[in-house]
Amino acid sequence: LLAGGILHDIGKIYEFSYETHIDYSDAGRLLNHIVIGIEMLHKKIATLRDFPEDLALALKHMIVSHHGTRDFGSPEPPKTLEAIMLYYLDELDAKVTGVRSFMESEDPDATWTSYHRVLERFFYKGTGQ
Residue 87 φ then ψ, to 5°? -55, -50
pTM (global) more than 0.75? yes
For residue 18, the model assigns a pLDDT of 87
In whole angstroms, give the CA distance from residue 118 to residue 129. Answer: 29
In angstroms, rounded to a whole number, what is the distance separating the alpha carbons of residues 69 and 110?
Answer: 38
pLDDT at 58: 98
Per-residue pLDDT of the chain (129 residues; tens, 9 = 90+): 999 999 999 999 999 998 889 999 999 999 999 999 999 999 999 999 999 999 999 999 999 999 999 999 899 999 999 999 999 999 999 999 999 999 999 999 999 999 999 999 999 998 765
pLDDT at 129: 52
Domain boundaries, the chain: 2-101
Q: What is the sign, positive or negative, of the torsion defined by CA atoms of 21, 27, 29, 31?
A: negative
For residues 77 and 75, give the distance between their C-alpha atoms in angstroms, rounded to a whole number: 7
DSSP class of 4: H
Report whether 129 contacts 111 (CB < 8 A): no
